[in-house]
Amino acid sequence: MSSVSLYAIGRNVRCCSTGTRVTSACLFGILFFTVSTKRRLSNRFSENSGFRCDGREGKMDLLELWAIFGPGVAGTVFGVGWWIWLDAVVCSSITVPFLHYLPGIFASLAALMFNCVRKEDIDYSPYDEGEWRLKLWLFIAYVVSFVSLAGSAGLLIQDSLDKSAPSVWTGVAGVLQCVCVLISGLVYWTSHPE
């Protein structure tokens, strides 16, 4: 990378259309997405002298493509969710209390919690009791995710009713942040290779 591009990543860049600031984390996320996707594609194509296919030369399986592009899509959606929240905090006319940050933090924690579980470890047999800890962990992760979503919706309602609270956009951004973070966690969980 040249020194100009490193300088642009290290600084805040002014966005032309909305007037908001694009943070260096957003630019780093876009850079990471392109580098990781290129690396994954080159690893897939270099194995077995071409595409890994199931009998058809030149046709890649849909699950293969999802395994390649899924983590990048998940990271992009995660970055967009946090960028929306940071945009609302920066553009708020008053100081946003720490309570408004908690739903996004807990949604990120919930996404991390259910991504700690591998899909092949889950046994869907109703008669087998060996996997109860794993199922309890997933249940707690989903409870935390839905509580964070409900908390952000509650803060949105509070912001719309109370005139001394932050703007309604801050509440809407909190709900969008939680939705994006939880969707990105599910996208990443489904794109894990078996």
Whole-number CA gyration radius for the chain: 20
pLDDT tens for 11-64 read: 343 333 344 444 444 444 554 455 455 555 555 555 544 444 455 555 578 878
Rounded Cα distance between 20 and 178, Å, is 21
Give me the residue spans of the domains in the chain. Answer: 3-190
Predicted pLDDT at 157: 93
Q: What percent of the chain has pLDDT over 90?
A: 39
Q: Determine if the pTM surpasses 0.75.
A: no
Rounded Cα distance between 175 and 54, Å, is 42
pLDDT tens for 143-169 read: 999 999 999 999 999 988 988 888 889
